[in-house]
Amino acid sequence: MKEKELLRLIQISKLYYEENKTQAEIARIMDISRPLVSNLLNKARKEGIVKIDILSYQHSNMGLSQNLCRCFNLKTCHVVAAAEDLHQEAAGIVVDFLEKTKVLALGWGYNINKMIEALPRTNSGATAHGIVCPLIGTATVPHRGYHPNELATELSHKTGLQAEYLISPAFPTTEQDQELFMNTNNYQEILERWRKTDTAIITLGSFPLVPDHGTALRFGKKLTQEKAVGSLLSYFFNLQGERIEGDDDYAIQIPLKLLTRIKHVIGIVPPESNTSAVISCLRTGYIKHLVITEQTAKEVLNQNE
């Protein structure tokens, strides 16, 4: 094919497929007949200048969503094309639930923090009615994502929900310290809130993780020996979604028997997630609504087959 002809095929293809010009418009621009435009477009496809890929339903975002719902018994699944859309999508789901939520409970981490940042600030006259509280105590790391009381405060400012706080470290070092915090009026009040929680939002994490959550002190070598891969809050699970328990684990967080009773548990899958960790968390059955990128969704379904 001569260079001049190749350039004409490229120009016509760009006008049609990229600029959405009609064949009649291209004919006027190129000063040729409309049937010739059609012939040249066909030739561009035959020569490989234009390649048209049609996704099967199974590989569309809607297909991925329905397959994930079926495989992991989810109520809803929101598949986003790009990682930068993840937190905005999660924020939208939270907004949708606000009107029917009496108690919203928050997990922790970078992605929960980013989700709250993506929330619009409601008008003072249109605030939500309900309570927001943490699902876990505060970690000693400096990142605000691991200070759930601060997250609850910011969410309260944006939504009008009333913030209530868990005044406790996430990881007391002894059983006596754990009992001390669990016997406070504050813990008992938050425990009552957990019993009435109807919506929660948490991140699907992985093991090993950063920050470490004091896993060596809490679990010794158990997490490695029993092949932990996934984590929710600071609970750890193997690939089958079975919990791994530590002999010295005194973490202050919602009991799993209460987490399983929450009607709407929204799970955010970080873009960099390990596929096995996502499968592990989903197999626990705690997650009811999922927010995940298209790429991770495909990887999870492929590995889960």
Is the per-residue pLDDT at 86 higher than 90?
yes
pLDDT digits (tens, 9 = 90+) for 8-30: 888 888 898 888 889 999 999 99
CATH number at residue 14: 1.10.10.60
Residue with token string 């944006």: 158
In a domain, 184, yes or no: yes
| pLDDT, greater one: 58 or 235 | 235
* Residues 92/302, Cβ–Cβ less than 8 Å: no
| Range(s) of the domain holding residue 81 | 57-304
Count of other CB atoms within 10 angstroms of residue 37: 23
Count of other CB atoms within 10 angstroms of residue 256: 14
Q: Where are the alpha helices (DSSP H) in the chain?
A: 3-13, 23-30, 34-46, 61-72, 86-98, 110-118, 148-159, 175-182, 185-196, 215-219, 222-225, 256-259, 275-283, 294-304
In a domain, 83, yes or no: yes
Q: How many domains is the chain partitioned into structurally?
A: 2
Same structural domain, 139 and 232: yes
Same structural domain, 12 and 109: no
Same structural domain, 122 and 240: yes
In a domain, 52, yes or no: no
**Token representation of residue 2:** 């001569």
Same structural domain, 42 and 72: no
What residues contact residue 176 under an 8 Å CB cut-off, 6+ apart? none
Same structural domain, 246 and 97: yes
Average pLDDT over residues 143-171: 95
pLDDT at 148: 96
Is the per-residue pLDDT at 276 higher than 50?
yes
Average pLDDT, the chain: 91
Same structural domain, 23 and 88: no
Same structural domain, 176 and 282: yes
Same structural domain, 169 and 287: yes
d(Cα 261, Cα 14) in Å, to the nearest integer? 55
Same structural domain, 98 and 230: yes
**pTM for this predicted structure:** 0.81
pLDDT digits (tens, 9 = 90+) for 172-215: 999 999 999 999 999 999 999 999 999 999 999 999 988 899 99
CATH number at residue 180: 3.40.50.1360
Same structural domain, 34 and 67: no
Is the per-residue pLDDT at 125 higher than 50?
no
Same structural domain, 65 and 198: yes
In a domain, 63, yes or no: yes
In a domain, 203, yes or no: yes
In a domain, 207, yes or no: yes
| pLDDT, greater one: 41 or 255 | 255
In a domain, 51, yes or no: no
In a domain, 296, yes or no: yes
Same structural domain, 67 and 32: no
**Token representation of residue 257:** 């028997």
Q: How confident is the model at residue 137 (pLDDT cuts 50, 70, 90)?
A: very high
Burial (Cβ within 10 Å: 0-12, 13-18, ≥19) of residue 52: exposed
